[in-house]
Amino acid sequence: MKKILTLLLTVILGVACCFGFAGCGENATVKIGSQSGTTGAMYADCLKGCEVSYYDTFALAAQDLKNGKVEYVVVDGATAQSLKNDISGLKVIDIELSSEYYGIAVDKAQPELLSSINTILESKKAEIDAIIEKYMNDDEENFVPVASAVKDESKAATQLVVATNAEFPPFESISGDKYVGIDIEIAKIIADELGLELVIDNMQFDAVVQSIGTHSVDIGMSGLTITAERKKSVNFANPYYIESQYILTLESNTKLDDCMTVIDVLNVLTANK
Amino acid sequence: MINWAEEWSSFYKQFVTLGGYKRLFDGLIATVEIAVFGLAIGIIIGILIAIVAVMPRYKLLPKILDKICKVYVAIFRGTPMVVQLLVGHYLLLPLLGVNVSGVFEAVIIFGLNSGAYVSEIMRSGIQSVDAGQLEAGRALGLSFWSAMGKIVIPQSIKNILPTLGNEFISLIKETSVVSFIAITDLTKALKLIGDATYHYFMPYIMLALIYLVIVLLITWGIKVMERRLARSDRK
């Protein structure tokens, strides 16, 4: 018994040591980070021979990019710029990986809400374009922080509950005890037009589509790309923004500097396989 | 209401047709790896600390070592696992400037965490052996260390091993938080399968079942071990 136990322990420790050395060695695969549930993560997922790390927020992914844990982050263009401005030493590779439309996700059980949102998007187009313009120019003076009312089930008929993941500047982020961003200001316009009280329900990004699907919120605005898979769970209003996926990397990383097209980028990223 | 047919068909498509089972397999390996190697490191640290804890107190060195161990145990038992992972990943690693794989990092942090618990298990196991046993050994002329090693520790193992099994169970379950530092473990793998279709019912049921099966297997192992250890007990 004693001998068996000693042997077992030695084997476990031996393997643990080997494992330890393996962990220190440089890994040949390209490491890509993204936020789980986003289009960027799905894009990275399709790259052969790359190891994808799924973060809770893009900001954490960018932090790990800076710390050298991942080499590239696949992220929506506007957010890539915003991260580059906030965290020093990062650069955005100026090649569009894929194009997509952002839309407002609406509860499938409320078709009349969908049509009224589409009407508002049509009639307030100038205002919405001005909002997008001011955030894209980083015109911080004119940002309007929006306060959220408290969610109250008994007042469901007079409240517009918007699901968002407020960690996605410039579309939505937290500013003190209020919320700020393109989606937030558009949500305010919609709520005002409908004569409802605006409730912002801040949650994990993966939970946004899920909670609209289970009817616990009315709409979702979180820089949501319109995809076929999401359309099965929610309805989408007409798109309000065209976005692309970009690659964020360290300024010192020159591997992608000579790339001219998406094909070049993909060749570099999947060179190992 | 849950549409069973739809839940099942979307899960089947993700899991079998599109190869989601590979993701689950990788996640399962990561989970087991972290728990097993974490416990291995924990046992080493636990033994070291337990040795310090039972050393005679009349010299200076054991006193200092004991203080250091107490601080270590207090820190790792006094903070949640998630906080230790976050501090380790986003604060300590960049400060130290080392670059290791995510799973390795989790193994180290889980090892340090379980070391604090295992040391307590071992200390209480050794102290549960009657003090008279050590005194008898010393009276027969054995040195402190040989009395410890030949008389006290063999008896204490009987108390320690089953409790170590319980520590392994809680470690396996605690690994479900490693997705906080972007490791794809079992929990994250099945969550990703759910994210792909927005149908979470089947993945989460499966997740619960897998953890349950793992824990039941370990429980069974502990039972077998306890029965073997109880063979020499007075009936």
Output the six-digit token pair for A191.
């709520």
Domain positions in chain B = 4-230
Contact A69 B196 (CB under 8 A): no
Contact B103 A23 (CB under 8 A): yes
Interface A-B: count of C-beta contacts within 8 A: 75
Chain A nearest-CA distance from B58, in A, is 32
State yes or no: pLDDT of A28 exceeds 70: no
Residue A26 has a pLDDT of: 47
Pairing status of strand A172-175 against strand A178-180? antiparallel
State yes or no: pLDDT of A4 exceeds 90: no
Residue A16 has a pLDDT of: 63
Contact B195 A206 (CB under 8 A): yes
Residue B217 has a pLDDT of: 95
Q: What is the CB neighbour count within 10 angstroms for residue A5? A: 11
Contact B101 A33 (CB under 8 A): no
The predicted complex's ipTM stands at 0.78
Q: What is the mean pLDDT of chain A?
A: 87
- C-alpha torsion sign, points B168, B174, B180, B186: positive
Contact B198 A9 (CB under 8 A): no
A15 membership: H or E segment, kind and range: helix A2-24
Chain A residue with the nearest C-alpha to that of B26: A51
Interface test mutation site (partner B, options A45, A67, A87, A227, max chain B beta carbons within 10 A): A67
User: Which range, of A14-18, A42-46, A143-147, B189-193, averages the lowest pLDDT?
Assistant: A14-18
What are the pLDDT digits (tens) for B82-98? 999 999 998 998 888 88
What are the pLDDT digits (tens) for A163-178? 999 988 889 999 889 9
Rounded CA-CA distance A95/A77 in Å is: 10
Pairing status of strand A178-180 against strand A167-168? unpaired
pLDDT band of B235, cuts 50, 70, 90:
low
State yes or no: pLDDT of A110 exceeds 70: yes
Rounded percentage of chain B residues whose pLDDT exceeds 70 = 99
State yes or no: pLDDT of A218 exceeds 80: yes
DSSP result, A111-127? HHHHHHHHHHHHHTHHH
Contacts of A269 (CB under 8 A, 6+ apart): A30, A32, A47, A50, A72
Contact A206 B102 (CB under 8 A): no
Full set of structural domains in chain A with CATH: 29-99+245-269 (3.40.190.10), 104-238 (3.40.190.10)
Rounded CA-CA distance A45/A35 in Å is: 11
Which residues from chain B sit within 8 angstroms of residue A22, using beta carbons?
A: 104
DSSP code for A28 = -
Q: Give the residue-averaged pLDDT of A199-221.
A: 91
Residue of B100 and A200 predicted with greater confidence: A200
> Which class is B4-230 in CATH?
mainly alpha
- Residue A8: C-alpha distances to residues B170, B214, B220 (Å): 21, 20, 19
State the SS3 of chain B: CCCHHHHHHHHHHHHHHCCHHHHHHHHHHHHHHHHHHHHHHHHHHHHHHHHHHHCCCCCHHHHHHHHHHHHHHHHHHHCCHHHHHHHHHHHHHHHHCCCCCHHHHHHHHHHHHHHHHHHHHHHHHHHCCCHHHHHHHHHCCCCHHHHHHHHHHHHHHHHHHHHHHHHHHHHHHHHHHHHHHCCCCHHHHHHHHHHHHCCCHHHHHHHHHHHHHHHHHHHHHHHHHHHHHHHHCCC
State yes or no: pLDDT of A62 exceeds 80: yes
Chain A nearest-CA distance from B99, in A, is 7
What are the pLDDT digits (tens) for B103-157? 999 999 999 999 999 999 999 999 999 989 999 999 999 998 899 889 998 889 8
C-alpha of B46 from chain center: 11
Contact A60 B188 (CB under 8 A): no
In this structure, chain B runs to a length of: 235
State yes or no: pLDDT of A5 exceeds 80: no
Q: What is the mean pLDDT of chain B?
A: 90
Contact A13 B101 (CB under 8 A): no
Chain A nearest-CA distance from B195, in A, is 6
A13 has a chain B CB within 8 A of its CB: yes
What are the pLDDT digits (tens) for B162-186? 899 999 999 999 999 999 998 999 9
Residue A234 has a pLDDT of: 92
Residue A17 has a pLDDT of: 60
State yes or no: pLDDT of A20 exceeds 80: no
Chain B residue with the nearest C-alpha to that of A24: B100
Which residues from chain B sit within 8 angstroms of residue A53, using beta carbons?
A: 102, 182-184
State yes or no: pLDDT of A273 exceeds 60: no
Rounded percentage of chain A residues whose pLDDT exceeds 90 = 45
What are the pLDDT digits (tens) for B45-80? 999 999 888 887 778 888 899 999 999 999 999 999
Chain B residue with the nearest C-alpha to that of A37: B195
Residue A202 has a pLDDT of: 93
Which residues from chain B sit within 8 angstroms of residue A54, using beta carbons?
A: 179, 182, 184, 188, 192
pLDDT band of A68, cuts 50, 70, 90:
confident
State yes or no: pLDDT of A236 exceeds 60: yes
Residue A244 has a pLDDT of: 92
Residues of chain B whose beta carbon is less than 8 angstroms from a beta carbon of chain A are 33, 36-37, 40-41, 43-44, 89-90, 93-94, 99-105, 107, 179-180, 182-184, 188, 191-192, 195-198, 200, 228
Residue A25 has a pLDDT of: 45
What are the pLDDT digits (tens) for A115-138? 999 999 999 999 999 999 999 888
Exposed/middle/buried for A148, CB within 10 Å: 0-12, 13-18, 19+? buried
Which residues from chain B sit within 8 angstroms of residue A68, using beta carbons?
A: 99
pLDDT band of A24, cuts 50, 70, 90:
very low
State yes or no: pLDDT of A12 exceeds 80: no
Give the angle subtended at the CA of A142 by the CAs of A201 and A188, to the nearest 5°.
30
Residue A139 has a pLDDT of: 81
Instruction: Name the E strands within A146-220.
Output: 159-164, 167-168, 172-175, 178-180, 197-202, 219-220
Contact A33 B196 (CB under 8 A): no
